[in-house]
């Protein structure tokens, strides 16, 4: 995670130097360092902590960049970037965050038309005044409009769940060093396992609240303390994330866990139920008049209004008060993963290496599903190398005892809904995952038809990342999901939950919809390295928020049953 942060800082410095027309060699050295750090498997913070001098062994990192990295880890800031930023209008920095817009385009808009503001850029594009700039055209003008719309609808700022989890675990481990802390748990949207998290909420119990709060505000990642009271404190971390900590009486811990887990809508509903029974539920407990009748545990809160324990992932007021509760799927139910990439396309490991890693972690099968060749940049599978690819999978499979490597492919759904491969090729795979990766700006009606045509192909048995969203980056192609789900039901096509934290696509609400139509789900990582196996837990979180049980998810099935569910 630190690699990503450092890489982003260097990329941004290079971009801003580029816009400022600085020395091209200097620009290139930042961009190259960003590239290397962003892609290296070793954790850069580890290198720094062991011996900062060793940072210079990284290709492209000399003394100057090494000192910048040290500053970033020591202070959480990069003065070089902060100073550079001061020289630009804020709108320029925002423009750089738009999909498909780099320093070259920003420079063009700024220098040719004086554009330094997103709204003004959009207006100019809508009026058709960008298309005549050198290198632009009607299509790239429309791309800019779409990118601004997506950026404004889905502004960056909420943390991805894996980042939030890592932050929370780190803080909690640190807080346990304080002898006065007894219980400590994270609550809020993170405990409900929402796909993005606004701020972190942490609850503790312990005798000496003052000491606990003091320890909290001295957490090494704290940039600013924004509130420090007797039982509550809020801080901002270097990453910009807010963390709220509360110290509670043990007798109120369950009530507070419930209240601060939320969601707000769930809380409002349960308090209305309590009121009808003549009770009052607050963050301090369950009360009958002035008498406290519960609140030590969450179970007591639910029990007071005649409810069973409701798992946090279901607390969205989306049926948990009315419908029978499911027995939610758990990570340990999973037996495999049906979507991953190897060196045959843009993955970084061999088939055998990735298979061994899954087996070591107790899984029973995987499917290798490399990209078809429509994505020029990732290489990928073509008619001419398919047989060699399939042989490579078979060869690896023979070497694996008590483990199955299935033959898969992530086949591109082309603009009109045709697949990159013909049926003669598709029928060779155990699993053909149909996904869109190109020509993504399409209206809902067209993209729905495009996907349905792919779903109707007799050899397609899985739909990959159905909406194409990238969290904090783009909303995706917005198909009509009810129609897509019905088409999958009619054609016996499984839908994946793509567990990559940037995607988490199929979304939770559509999981519930898929289940109601009898459509089965596969929880897949889309891993490009076996260390992304850990994403499976995030896919399970989405499934749980979508009310799914073990039997709804085919990657919990033993191999034979799995192949039957896939029509193979």
Interface with Zn ion (CB under 5 A): 435
What does the block give as tokens for 341? 């990439």
Rounded least distance, CB 272 to ligand DGT, Å: 11
Nearer to ligand DGT, 125 or 190 (CB): 190
Q: Candidates 15-23, 183-191, 314-322, 349-357 — which segment interacts with Ca ion by CB under 5 A?
A: 183-191
Contact yes or no for 401/426 (Cβ under 8 A): no
What does the block give as tokens for 150? 């997506």
Picked from ligand DGT, Zn ion, Ca ion, none, the partner binding residue 435 (CB below 5 to 8 A depending on kind) is Zn ion
Tell me which residues in 249-268 interact with ligand DGT (CB under 6 A): 259-260, 262-264, 267-268
Rounded least distance, CB 146 to Ca ion, Å: 31
Q: Strand pairing partners for 504?
A: none
Tell me which residues in 391-410 interact with ligand DGT (CB under 6 A): none
Give dist(CA 411, CA 104) in Å, integer.
Answer: 33
Picked from Ca ion, Zn ion, ligand DGT, none, the partner binding residue 5 (CB below 5 to 8 A depending on kind) is none
Q: In the bound complex, which residue of the shown chain has the CB atom lying closest to ligand DGT?
A: 262
Nearer to ligand DGT, 270 or 434 (CB): 270
Contact yes or no for 296/311 (Cβ under 8 A): no
Give dist(CA 199, CA 83) in Å, integer.
Answer: 28
Tell me which residues in 198-227 interact with Ca ion (CB under 5 A): 199, 201
Nearer to Ca ion, 189 or 304 (CB): 189
Contact yes or no for 11/39 (Cβ under 8 A): no
Nearer to Zn ion, 342 or 435 (CB): 435
Give dist(CA 415, CA 50) in Å, integer.
Answer: 51
Tell me which residues in 449-508 interact with ligand DGT (CB under 6 A): none
Rounded least distance, CB 198 to Ca ion, Å: 5
Q: Which SS3 state, helix, strand or coil, does residue 478 take?
A: coil
Count of residues binding Ca ion (CB under 5 A)?
5
Contacts 24+ apart (CB under 8 A), 55-60: 58/33, 60/29, 60/32, 60/33, 60/36
Rounded least distance, CB 484 to Zn ion, Å: 16
Picked from Zn ion, ligand DGT, Ca ion, none, the partner binding residue 262 (CB below 5 to 8 A depending on kind) is ligand DGT
Rounded least distance, CB 507 to Zn ion, Å: 16
Rounded least distance, CB 187 to Ca ion, Å: 8
What does the block give as tokens for 477? 């192609």
Rounded least distance, CB 287 to ligand DGT, Å: 16
Picked from ligand DGT, Zn ion, Ca ion, none, the partner binding residue 268 (CB below 5 to 8 A depending on kind) is ligand DGT
Residue 340 Cα distances to 166, 261, 525, angstroms: 24, 34, 7
Rounded least distance, CB 473 to ligand DGT, Å: 18
The mark string for 142-181 relative to Ca ion (x by CB under 5 A, - otherwise) is ----------------------------------------
Nearer to Ca ion, 194 or 528 (CB): 194
Contact yes or no for 213/172 (Cβ under 8 A): no
Give dist(CA 218, CA 337) in Å, integer.
Answer: 42
Q: In the bound complex, which residue of the shown chain has the CB atom lying closest to Zn ion?
A: 435
In the sheet with 232-237, reading across from the earlier edge strand, the strands are: 181-186, 200-206, 242-248, 232-237, 222-228
What does the block give as tokens for 561? 């049953």
Nearer to ligand DGT, 120 or 284 (CB): 284
- The answer for residues whose C-beta is within 8 angstroms of residue 390's C-beta and 6 or more apart is 407, 428
Nearer to ligand DGT, 87 or 156 (CB): 156
244 binds Ca ion (CB under 5 A): yes
Picked from Ca ion, Zn ion, ligand DGT, none, the partner binding residue 263 (CB below 5 to 8 A depending on kind) is ligand DGT
Give dist(CA 501, CA 549) in Å, integer.
Answer: 21
Neighbours of 491 (CB within 10 A): 18
Picked from Ca ion, Zn ion, ligand DGT, none, the partner binding residue 205 (CB below 5 to 8 A depending on kind) is none
Rounded least distance, CB 437 to Zn ion, Å: 6
Give dist(CA 509, CA 279) in Å, integer.
Answer: 32
Nearer to ligand DGT, 168 or 368 (CB): 168
- The answer for residues whose C-beta is within 8 angstroms of residue 339's C-beta and 6 or more apart is 367, 369, 408, 410, 433, 462, 464, 496, 498, 522, 524, 525, 526, 527
Rounded least distance, CB 261 to ligand DGT, Å: 6
Nearer to Zn ion, 213 or 462 (CB): 462
Rounded least distance, CB 199 to Ca ion, Å: 4
The mark string for 268-287 relative to ligand DGT (x by CB under 6 A, - otherwise) is x-------------------
Contact yes or no for 33/60 (Cβ under 8 A): yes
In the sheet with 494-498, reading across from the earlier edge strand, the strands are: 336-337, 365-371, 404-412, 431-435, 462-463, 494-498, 521-524
CA dihedral defined by 544, 550, 553, 557, rounded to 10 degrees?
Answer: 150
Rounded least distance, CB 505 to Zn ion, Å: 10
Residue 298: left if φ>0, alpha if ψ -120 to 50, beta else—which one? alpha
Give dist(CA 224, CA 334) in Å, integer.
Answer: 42
Tell me which residues in 177-216 interact with ligand DGT (CB under 6 A): 188-189, 194, 197-199, 201
Going by the DSSP 8-state scheme, the letter that residue 530 receives in this structure is G
User: Using omega within 30 degrees of 0 as the cis cutoff, is the peptide bond preceding 263 cis?
Assistant: yes
Nearer to Zn ion, 435 or 461 (CB): 435
**What are the phi and psi torsion angles at 471 (to 5°)?**
-60, 140
Picked from Ca ion, ligand DGT, Zn ion, none, the partner binding residue 467 (CB below 5 to 8 A depending on kind) is none
Rounded least distance, CB 1 to ligand DGT, Å: 19
Nearer to ligand DGT, 3 or 162 (CB): 162
Positions touching Ca ion (CB under 5 A) are 188-189, 199, 201, 244
Binding residues for ligand DGT, rule: CB under 6 A, are 188-189, 194, 197-199, 201, 259-260, 262-264, 267-268
């Amino acid at each position: 995670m630190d690699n990503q942060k450092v890489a982003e800082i260097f990329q941004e410095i290079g971009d801003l130097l580029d816009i400022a027309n600085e020395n091209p060699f200097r620009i290139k050295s930042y961009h190259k360092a960003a590239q290397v750090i962003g892609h290296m498997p070793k954790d850069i913070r580890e290198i720094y902590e062991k011996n900062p001098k060793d940072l210079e062994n990284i290709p492209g990192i000399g003394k100057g960049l090494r000192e910048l990295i040290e500053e970033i880890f020591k202070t959480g800031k990069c003065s070089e970037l902060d100073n550079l930023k001061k020289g630009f209008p804020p709108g320029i920095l925002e423009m750089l965050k738009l999909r498909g817009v780099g320093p070259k385009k920003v420079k063009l808009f700024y220098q040719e038309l004086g554009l330094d503001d997103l709204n003004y850029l959009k207006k100019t594009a809508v009026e058709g005044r960008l298309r005549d700039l050198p290198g632009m055209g009607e299509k790239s003008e429309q791309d800019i409009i779409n990118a601004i719309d997506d950026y404004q609808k889905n502004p960056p700022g909420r943390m991805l769940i894996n980042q939030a989890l890592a932050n929370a675990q780190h803080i909690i481990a640190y807080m346990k060093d304080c002898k006065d802390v007894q219980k400590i748990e994270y609550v809020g949207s993170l405990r409900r396992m929402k796909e993005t998290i606004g701020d972190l909420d942490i609850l503790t119990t312990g005798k000496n609240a003052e000491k606990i709060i003091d320890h909290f505000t001295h957490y090494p990642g704290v940039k600013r303390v924004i509130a420090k009271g007797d039982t509550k404190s809020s801080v901002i971390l270097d990453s910009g994330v807010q963390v709220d900590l509360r110290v509670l009486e043990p007798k109120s811990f369950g009530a507070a866990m419930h209240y601060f887990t939320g969601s707000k809508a769930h809380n409002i509903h349960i308090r209305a139920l309590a009121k009808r029974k003549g009770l009052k539920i607050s963050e301090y407990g369950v009360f009958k008049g002035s008498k406290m009748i519960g609140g030590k545990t969450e179970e007591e809160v639910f029990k007071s209004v005649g409810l069973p324990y409701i798992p946090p992932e279901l607390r969205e007021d989306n049926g948990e008060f009315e419908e029978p509760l499911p027995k939610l799927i758990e990570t340990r139910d999973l037996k495999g993963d049906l979507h991953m990439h190897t060196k045959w396309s843009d993955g970084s490991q061999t088939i055998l290496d990735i298979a061994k890693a899954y087996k070591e972690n107790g899984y029973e099968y995987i499917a290798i599903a490399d990209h078809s060749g429509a994505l020029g940049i990732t290489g990928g599978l073509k008619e001419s190398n398919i047989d060699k690819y399939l042989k490579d999978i078979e060869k690896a499979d023979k070497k694996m005892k008590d483990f199955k490597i299935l033959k898969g492919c992530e086949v591109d759904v082309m603009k009109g809904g045709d697949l990159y491969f013909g049926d003669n090729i598709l029928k060779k795979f155990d699993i053909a995952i149909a996904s869109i990766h190109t020509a993504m700006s399409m209206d809902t009606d067209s993209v729905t038809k495009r996907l349905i045509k792919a779903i109707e192909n007799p050899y397609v048995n899985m739909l990959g990342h159905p909406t194409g969203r990238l969290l904090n980056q783009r909303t995706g192609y917005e198909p009509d999901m009810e129609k897509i789900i019905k088409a999958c039901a009619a054609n016996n096509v499984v839908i994946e939950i793509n567990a990559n934290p940037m995607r988490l696509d199929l979304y939770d609400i559509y999981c519930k919809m898929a289940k109601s139509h009898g459509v089965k789900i596969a929880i897949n990582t889309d891993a490009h390295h076996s260390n992304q196996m850990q994403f499976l837990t995030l896919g399970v979180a989405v499934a749980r928020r979508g009310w799914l049980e073990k039997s709804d998810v085919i990657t919990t099935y033993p191999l034979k049953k799995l192949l039957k569910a896939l029509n193979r």
